[in-house]
């Protein structure tokens, strides 16, 4: 496992938070004729800055994904199967 990567749980939580901020922006714009007020812009900026700090902290907290998660992720990216633990080469998937 490489350092500076998010686990599946961390990624899911961050994606949920991002979706909530985006929903809040859409709602605020709809309520104000397509524009954000200065206070709303400030609030959104603070939320995004906090999320950015949270991402950094979670990427550097030492949590690691299981080998099985890494293998599944790699398979979905390349369409091949590779043994992460033993560093064997890719084999063609049936």
Domain of residue 84, residue span? 65-94
**Whether residue 59 is found in the same domain as residue 79:** no
Residue 63: per-residue pLDDT? 67
Q: Are residues 78 and 93 in the same domain?
A: yes
Answer yes or no: do 75 and 55 share one domain.
Answer: no
**Total number of domains in the chain:** 2
**What pTM value is reported for the model?**
0.58
Closest CA to 22 of 3, 1, 36: 36
53 in the same domain as 14: yes
Rounded distance between C-alpha atoms, residue 46 and residue 6, angstroms: 22
pLDDT tens digits, 54-82: 888 888 887 666 555 555 666 666 654 44
Do 88 and 57 have their domain in common? no
Distance separating alpha carbons of residues 39 and 76, to the nearest angstrom: 43
57 and 89 in a single domain? The answer is no
Q: Which range, 10-14, 66-70, 87-91, has the best average confidence (pLDDT)? A: 10-14
Span 22-61, pLDDT tens digits? 999 999 999 999 999 999 999 999 999 999 998 888 888 8
């Amino acid at each position: 496992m490489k350092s500076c990567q998010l686990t599946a749980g961390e990624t899911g939580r961050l994606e949920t938070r991002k979706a909530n901020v985006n929903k809040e922006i859409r709602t605020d714009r709809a309520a104000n004729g397509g524009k954000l007020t200065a206070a709303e812009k400030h609030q959104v900026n603070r939320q995004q800055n906090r999320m950015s700090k949270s991402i950094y902290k979670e990427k550097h907290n030492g949590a690691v994904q299981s080998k099985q998660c890494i293998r599944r992720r790699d398979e979905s990216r390349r369409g091949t199967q590779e043994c992460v633990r033993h560093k064997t080469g890719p084999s063609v998937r049936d």
